[in-house]
Amino acid sequence: MGTMSAENGTDGVGRRDLIKRSAALGLISVPAMGFLSACASGGGDDRKKAGAGKKTAKNPLAVNETAPMEFVLFDGGFGKEYAEDAVKIYETNFPGAKTKFSATQKIQSTLQPRFNQGTPPDLIDNSGAEQMDMGVLVGKNQLADLTPLLDAPSYDDPSKKVRDTLRPGIVQMGQFDGEKVWILYYAYTVYGVWYSRKALASLDAEYPKTWDEMLAVCEKAKKKGIAGWTYAGKYPYYIPFSLYPMIGKVGGAEVLDAIDNLEPNAWKHPAVKACFEAYYELYRKGYVLKGTPGLDHIQSQTAWAKGKALFLPNGSWVENESANVIPADFDLAVSAPSGLDDGDKMPFGTLWASGGEPFVVPAKAANAPGGMEQLRIMLSEESSKNFTGKVKSLTAYNGGTDGVELTPGLTSGVAALELAGDNVVNPRLQDWYVQLQKEKIGVSGLGEMMAGRLTPAEAIKKIQGFADEAAKDSSVKHYKHQ
């Protein structure tokens, strides 16, 4: 899993959400050749809209029991076994239905032509470097509203609706404007600063809660020839995984909301300035691993796992994606970002946690109820436990950890969520404005600052300019926190 090349899935997994992917790739329009070859290969042009089936207690979405069901998965850090297992349950429940399952890292170039032709699959994990832009899909009415799934009885307990079995924030994340829910994020990702407890203990250090403490730990490490930080330099939109919640901690969640809402001067807030300056100190004092700006996500994770750097901003998929390079005695842990000082608006523990792996059912799917039923199966306790046991990550299902042996990183992630309590922030730029977040803020802003090519003041001015452009761009659908 750790061998994915940058262009086909920078985020092994949820990031993918995010993110979870390469700069421009997910945003480039599909070239004509790709379109033609997709047409020639027939993608799904023989698919006819399936009629409704019979609604029963076991079939609450009235799936047509003989209609084919097609499911396309992003082949990233979570692998495909968990999804294949869930498809087998669908096949057992609907033995007369033919299912087609495939996994690819090239979501956009494979599926955009099929959306254009009106022949999309029934369920898609829209993730990876070639993630299709969610805001665009919603704005063009290309997705089905998942409310019927959320209001259906849950797979295990008919007295509970599916929506009542989900983790906090999952339903809201799938909304763009109003009550309709367009996306079901299946993984639940804890973002933050990842480190080896063993490495910190060997420096006789604890995880730093304030920035002065962070700089002191990095100085200690530097004296032993260890860098304080590394990150995915080629994909610097990983930096926000710890920087954004730090901004929320310092200035309050409303600062992040203003940024998401593209409000004028949102990036000029004193909390943003203070946090940018704090991160720039890491560069200025030589605490960032040499060569980091040229590393992709796998290379930076590998250097960190080998003990060349203490801290890595990342999401909880990193444990699975780096399993082949993390030493057995590493004692992986994640913490919420260090704050500035005791003047911060939110307490230590303030964390970014949210859904990853965005699943969608296309509006023109031939068998939309089948796609939703496949998701209902995946949101059962059995499928959730299977996912958590196999890929070391939580799901959107609020539970599914009983009896599963939790790995060090997952145990630490659950503890971080408990410590955060209600102090969980969920920045939405990466969902609402993919190109702005990845290429402009990430690559042209934060990436340049952390490489020492922009000062914090210059980076803020540049990023505010990008946000203002996006706010004025009438070709982009705009979203706001409700």
CA within 13 Å, CB half, 194:
33
Are 76 and 55 in the same domain?
Answer: yes
Question: What's the confidence (pLDDT) of residue 375?
Answer: 98
CATH at residue 459: 3.40.190.10
Residue 465, in any domain of the structure: yes
Q: Which of 371, 364, 416, 413 is nearest to 388 (CA)?
A: 413
Are 317 and 385 in the same domain?
Answer: no
Residue 480, in any domain of the structure: no
Residue 226, in any domain of the structure: yes
Would you give per-residue pLDDT tens digits along the chain (482 residues)? 333 333 333 333 333 333 333 323 333 333 333 333 333 333 444 457 888 889 999 999 999 999 999 999 999 878 899 999 999 999 999 999 999 999 999 999 999 999 999 999 999 999 987 889 888 899 899 999 999 999 999 999 999 999 999 988 899 899 887 889 999 999 999 999 999 999 999 999 999 999 999 999 999 999 999 999 999 999 999 999 999 999 999 999 999 999 999 999 999 999 999 999 999 999 999 999 999 999 999 999 999 999 999 999 999 989 988 999 999 999 999 999 999 999 999 999 999 999 989 999 999 999 999 999 999 999 999 999 999 998 888 999 998 888 888 899 999 998 999 999 889 999 999 888 988 998 999 999 999 999 999 999 999 999 999 999 999 999 888 988 87
Are 209 and 310 in the same domain?
Answer: yes
Are 407 and 442 in the same domain?
Answer: no
Q: Into how many domains does the chain fold?
A: 2
Are 433 and 363 in the same domain?
Answer: no
Residue 206, in any domain of the structure: yes
Question: What's the confidence (pLDDT) of residue 62?
Answer: 95
Name the token pair of 4: 């994915």
Q: Are the C-beta atoms of residues 287 and 228 closer than 8 Å to each other?
A: yes
Are 358 and 348 in the same domain?
Answer: no
Are 27 and 137 in the same domain?
Answer: yes
Are 82 and 219 in the same domain?
Answer: no
Last residue of a domain, one of 387, 404, 420: 420
Are 132 and 249 in the same domain?
Answer: no
Are 26 and 168 in the same domain?
Answer: yes
pTM for the whole thing? 0.77
Question: What's the confidence (pLDDT) of residue 47?
Answer: 57
Name the token pair of 144: 């089905």
Question: What's the confidence (pLDDT) of residue 11?
Answer: 37
Question: What's the confidence (pLDDT) of residue 38?
Answer: 34
Residue 299, in any domain of the structure: yes
- Residues spanned by the domain of 407: 6-189+354-420
Are 177 and 225 in the same domain?
Answer: no
Residue 481, in any domain of the structure: no
Residue 113, in any domain of the structure: yes
Residue 478, in any domain of the structure: no
Written as one letter, the residue type at 365 is A
Are 138 and 211 in the same domain?
Answer: no
Question: What's the confidence (pLDDT) of residue 299?
Answer: 97
